Amino acid sequence: MTGLYTRWAMILGATLLLASLTYQHYQQHLSTLSVGTLLGSPSATQPVRIQGMVKSGTLKGDVEHGQATFEFVDGSAGLFVEYQGPSLENIRELKTLVLIGRWDSQAQIFRAQDTALIHNFGFVAAAYLISVIALGWMVFAMSQRVMVLFKEIKESKLYEPEADSLGHKE
């Protein structure tokens, strides 16, 4: 039994390591701030990601050449955006998207340099968790059942030599 639990502790450890690496990756590359949270924070030196919608009637500039200004709203909160980056078809009015850039709190302008799709990472995490937990639990339960059966067979002394009709053991 000890061997079984040691093996499974190693598998669990590796799975937890992978989960923590994925969580770090999510925090560094995918997680987004709301517009309201960004408005209350000081200027950031590192690029941040914000999620919201391009407000209707505010998009100006030359999106095809990667230069535009617009208002970006998230619920009741909104901010002014100066976009300068790659030409993207994503930037259009009423489009919900993720902007990557730096927040200038003094000028109250978000200087965006790139965009990203909404990641929907909750769905990814749900699919992986359900699959890994269900398969892992099933394999563990089966391995444990084999051990229990072997133990039961051993304890019942069913492997004892069988006696013949005259009572002599083989």
The number of C-alpha atoms within 13 Å of 65 and in the hemisphere containing its C-beta is: 4
Task: Quote the CA–CA distance of 58 and 55 in Å, as a whole number.
Answer: 6
When binding is defined by CB under 8 A, the residue of 40, 46, 158, 166 that contacts another protein is 158
**Token pair 């937890």 in the structure block, residue:** 16
What are the C-alpha distances in Å from 59 to residues 30, 120, 135? 25, 26, 49
Q: Is 150 in the site for another protein (CB under 8 A)?
A: yes
Q: Which stretch binds another protein (CB under 8 A): 55-63, 64-72, 74-82, 124-132?
A: 124-132
Task: Tell the smallest beta-carbon distance from residue 170 to another protein (Å).
Answer: 14
Residue 17 Ramachandran class (φ > 0 left, ψ -120 to 50 alpha, else beta): alpha
What are the strands, taking DSSP E only, across the chain? 48-54, 60-62, 67-74, 77-84, 96-104, 109-116
Q: Which stretch binds another protein (CB under 8 A): 55-63, 66-74, 81-89, 117-125?
A: 117-125
Distance, first Cα to last Cα, the chain: 31
Q: Which stretch binds another protein (CB under 8 A): 46-54, 75-83, 100-108, 121-129?
A: 121-129
Q: Is 149 in the site for another protein (CB under 8 A)?
A: yes
| Site mask for another protein (CB under 8 A), range 4-43, x = bound | -------x--x---x--xx--x----x-------------
Rank residues 29 and 60 by Cβ distance to another protein and give the closer one: 29
Q: What's the one-letter identity of residue 6?
A: T
Q: Which residues bind another protein (CB under 8 A)?
A: 11, 14, 18, 21-22, 25, 30, 116-121, 123-124, 126-128, 130-132, 134-135, 138-139, 142-143, 145-146, 149-150, 152-153, 156, 158
